[in-house]
Structure 1
Amino acid sequence: MSHPTYEALLDAGIVVAEREGLAGLSVNRVVAEAGVAKGTFYVHFADREAFVDALHARFHAKVDTAAAAAIAGLEPGAELLVAGVEAYLDVSLSDRAVKALALEARTDPKLSTLMSARHDRFAALTTSSFKAMGWPDAPAAAQLLSAMTQEIAVREFDAGRRLPASRRALRRYLGAT
């Protein structure tokens, strides 16, 4: 279980990120929003990059929980992939500030390296479904699914809502009903 102050700092980071974006996400703004001393921040996080990574990790923990619930009982294959992707996209829409941070962080080498491992894990988890579907290059197909999912998330982020046509196209790509 994490410390309440740790969670309060992350919650404050979401508020600041929604208001200021990644460029405005400073330690000073976060501690002011959380109502704690600056030194308290450094009790929980080594630096700003560790804090942004913690925000991203918390986002992915929400994705993991939602995806696990969505795919429970499904066999590897197209329906499992679609259910997992839908869960990811829905969490992305509900946690827009962290998604925005992740998008902005793609250009920061220190942050993108930390975050790419979570995206690689998503691709690795989907490989078994592509194998079950008979795809000859399952790892490559899994990487492409990850990229397509990210693109849909970006488009939905920009639109501020689900994009049913994009989600239908992904289902068709996977051969899902």
Structure 2
Amino acid sequence: MPARTLVQYPDRRLSLAASPISDFGPSLKSTADDVRDTLLAVSAIGLTAPHIGIPERVMVIRLSPDEDLRIYVNPQVLWASSDTAIHDEGSVSMPGVRERITRPAGIRFGFQDLDGSTREEEVEGFEAAVVQHEIDQLDGIFWIDRLSRLKRDRLLKRFEKLKSASPL
């Protein structure tokens, strides 16, 4: 399938919680394929269905080009470490800007696969940050919502300058 068009910040859809998946039929597979194909086309590390305008709890992650893609349905954080880590974050829906975000250094999260089987994984470090970032998106929390007001305002000014400088 061809890549889908990305929803761009400040589109309101990026701030809405995605609906849980209850039907594990062909429609889910089609959505997962669309998210996967778009992730590959835009060379993202992680992407959710809301990034392509589908308000459903599906995310795809690939930490590096030599890794397999992983598809998660209805993911949710079950446990988070008290230790924190700081990572640079950004979004394909807000290109050109990045900022450092503090998150738990490790998490356990539950999810379902495309067949509806329930699973859990524990992840740490960069992978934990990526999973949390994408789950936040599914919960309607855009990554800049994790910044202090001052950092968010500065980032938004940089983003507006980038947008006004680039040709349409």
TM-score, normalization by structure 2: 0.31
Q: Which has the larger radius of gyration?
A: 1
Higher strand share: 2
TM-score, normalization by structure 1: 0.30
